[in-house]
Structure 1
Amino acid sequence: MISIDGLKKNYGNFTALDNINLELLNGEFIAILGPSGCGKTTLLRLLAGFMKPTEGTITIDNELAASSNKLVPPEKRNISMVFQSFALWPHMTVEEHIRFPLKHHRFGKTKGKEEQAIKVVEALEMVGLSHLKDRYPAELSGGQKQRVALARAIVSKPSLLLMDEPLSALDAELRMEMRREIGTIHRKLGTTIIYVTHDQGEALAMADRIVVMNDGKIEQIGTPESIYNAPQSVFVSTFVGKSNLIKGEWVGENRFIPANFPSVSWQDIGISKEIKAQNLYPVRPEQWKLGEAEQNQMTGIVQFAQFQGNEIHYSIQSGEETINVYASVFEKRFLPGDTVSLKIYTGVEERVLLASSR
């Protein structure tokens, strides 16, 4: 288990990390998600042992790994890293790259050449590169290079695998393929993975838990489902997936009246106190149910309607707000200029029916 307690990192007068507290369980896949400059790479570098924290501690398997007074360097930690840039050596073949940690990694060092060969074959098979073992990096595609970097990182079977934006240099199709590869490898090895990304899709698809960061602080920690369905702050609701922040007024704890529609009332579906305090009601684009304009309902005028295969993406002007709506192609289609009512799927059964129709 890894425990991070009161972690702080300053660069001069700039605070890159501020009071980070986090526990990671053995075998867990954790995604550190946030925009550029939020501190996620600094956190990864501290976990790797590249530098000391200004304050706080990092404990790995009940042993102090880092504090303001102590630092266990990377070579003395049972970790591996996968970088965005692949970090491959041009003069070494695929096989030589993967064999390298077995010769030099303190925890994964394997003396016997036969045992090394077995482990290299296993790693090559795991990433599907057995047929390319004699090639050099210049002869490989981007996806193949990333597989080499991944195989090199896992061949020594580290207790912790750190991944820093590993798929950002790949095109969309390759990213999807590598997500599946990394997920499969994680299930096979059971290694703890800390995966830094700014891509919410990667985090939602791959992680057991997501740590959402902003301005050097943790905004929220939770499963992908809880992060998406129950954001605790305005930042999380808009950064992780799109969210329409409807202005209005909370009446008591459980009733919201949207601005300009005094006869409309929405119930609380788990909105956080922080968001309520700002008199906002976050609604995901897929939570809306469009219909013909009705009295005593929130209404708007369709500005744009874009066909997206299984969905229609609408932009709807309601007062001063532009609302994004994702509707199923099996529902009634509306055209620009149409006035529509905007209701919310609030019940669990309604949401299940909506999901099944898509």
Structure 2
Amino acid sequence: MINIDNVSKRYGSFQALKEINLMFKEGEFVAVLGPSGCGKTTLLKLLAGFMKPSEGMIKMYGEEIGSAKTLIPPNQRNIGMVFQSFALWPHMTVQEHVQFPLKHHRFVEQKLRGDAASRVQQVLNLVGLEHLATRFPSELSGGQKQRVALARAIAPEPSLLLMDEPLSALDAELRMEMRKEIQHIHREMGTTIVYVTHDQGEALAMADRIVVMNEGSIEQVDTPEIIYNQPKTVFVSTFVGKCNLLQGRWQGKNEFIPEYYPGVILPDIGVSPEFKHGNVYPIRPEQWSLAKPQGKGNQLIGKVAFSQFQGKEVHYTIQTGKQSLNVIQSIGKPRHQVGEQVALHICK
């Protein structure tokens, strides 16, 4: 178990992290998600032991490993790390890369150190590189290099595996393939993983929990499902997936009246207090259902401004009053044309 208690980090007058409190459970896959400059890589460096926090404390299994007065260096922490740039040694073969930490990592159990050849073969089989054991990095593709970096990091069975945007250098197809590899390794190894990324798709697809960061602070920590369906802040709602933010006013605690539509009442679908205080109603594009207007009942009316066919779905822009709303409808539902009036209902 890793505890981060009230940790801040300053670089001169700039505060990169502001009073961070987190706990990582054993065997958990946690994605730290946020835009460039939000502090996620600084957090990773503190966990790795590359620098001290300015305030607060980091504990790993009850041992203090980082504070303003204490710094346990990386080689004295039971961690593995996968870098964005692969960081492979050009003079070593794939097999030698995996063997290296088994010889030099101070936390390697004696049984692994004593049978290093067997462990190397086991790890190479796990990442699908057994047939490339004697190749050098210059003879490998990008995806294969990333597998080598993964294999090297997990070979000594670290308690904590840190991953710093490991897939950003790969193309889209390889990223999808490597997501599966990382998930497979996590299931097989059961190691705690802290995975830093700015890619919301990676975080949503792989993590048990997501830490969303912005400007050095934590905006929300939750499961991918809750982060996506019940964002607590405006930043989370717009950074993780697209979200429509309707203007209007909250009537009581559970009813929202959109601006320009005084006769329409939208129900509370798990909206957080921050949105209610700001008189905003967040709703994802796929949470809308479009239909032809029926009479003058409780329905939000708009006009189709744009329509884009996207294979399995159609993306619409609906103009309602002075606001444009994004709507995604799956193929099979009635198609609406530009200029057509439509009623927007919330999917139940």
The residue aligned with 2:34 is 34
Structure 1 residue 131: Cα displacement: 0.6
Determine the C-alpha separation between the residues in 2 that align with 1:22 and 1:112: 32
Give, as a single letter, the amino acid of the residue that structure 1 aligns with 2:309: F
Residues 218-257 of structure 1 mapped to structure 2, 5 A cutoff: 218-257=218-257
Q: Is the 8 A contact 1:101 1:109 kept in 2?
A: no
* 2:283 aligned with 1:309: no
Distance of 1:11 and 1:320 partners within structure 2:
44
1:211 and 2:230 are equivalent in the alignment: no
Question: Cα distance, 1:270 vs. partner?
Answer: 1.1
Shift of 1:113: 7.9
Distance 2:145 2:66 in 1: 32
Using the alignment, how far apart are the partners of 2:262 and 2:126 within structure 1? 60
| Alpha-carbon shift at residue 184 of structure 1 (Å) | 0.7
- Encode CA deviations 1:213-266: one digit per residue, 9 max, x unaligned: 001000000111111111100001111111000000101111100001111001
Q: Report the secondary structure of 2:115's partner residue.
A: helix
Is 1:344 the counterpart of 2:346 in the alignment? yes
Counterpart of 1:75 in 2: which secondary structure? helix
Out of 107-116 and 229-238, give the one that drifted further.
107-116
Which runs of 5 or more structure 2 residues have no equivalent in the other structure?
Answer: none
Alpha-carbon contact 1:103-1:110 (below 8 Å) kept: no
Normalising by structure 1, report the TM-score. Answer: 0.95
Question: Quick one: percent identity of the two aligned structures?
Answer: 63
Unaligned segments of structure 1, at least 5 residues: 351-358
Indicate how the Cα distance of structure 1 residues 134 and 110 shifts in structure 2: closer, same or farther if over 3 A, else same: farther
- Residue 20 of structure 2 corresponds to 20
1:80 corresponds to which residue? Answer: 80
Secondary structure at the counterpart of residue 178 of structure 1: helix
The Cα shift of 1:293 comes to 2.6
Distance of 2:89 and 2:109 partners within structure 1: 20
Runs of 4+ in 1 over 4 A off after TM superposition: 109-114
For the 8 Å contact 2:293–2:342, the answer to whether it is kept is: yes
Query: How many angstroms does 1:116 deviate by?
Result: 1.0
Selected match of 1:319 from 309, 318, 321:
321
Aligned to 2:181: 181
The one-letter code of the counterpart of 2:89 is W
Contact preservation (8 Å) 1:233, 1:275? yes
Would you say 1:278 and 2:287 are equivalent positions? no
Q: CA deviation at 1:325?
A: 0.5
Distance of 1:269 and 1:75 partners within structure 2: 48
Query: C-alpha distance in 1, partners of 2:101/2:179?
Result: 24
Say if 2:112 and 2:119, in contact at 8 Å, map to a contact too. no
TM-score normalised over the length of structure 2: 0.97
Rounded to whole Å, the distance in 1 between the matches of 2:322 and 2:168 is 36
Q: Partners of 2:112 and 2:210 in 1: how far apart?
A: 40
- Residue identity opposite 1:42 in structure 2: T
Kept after mapping to 2: 8 A contact 1:89/1:137:
yes
For the 8 Å contact 2:233–2:272, the answer to whether it is kept is yes
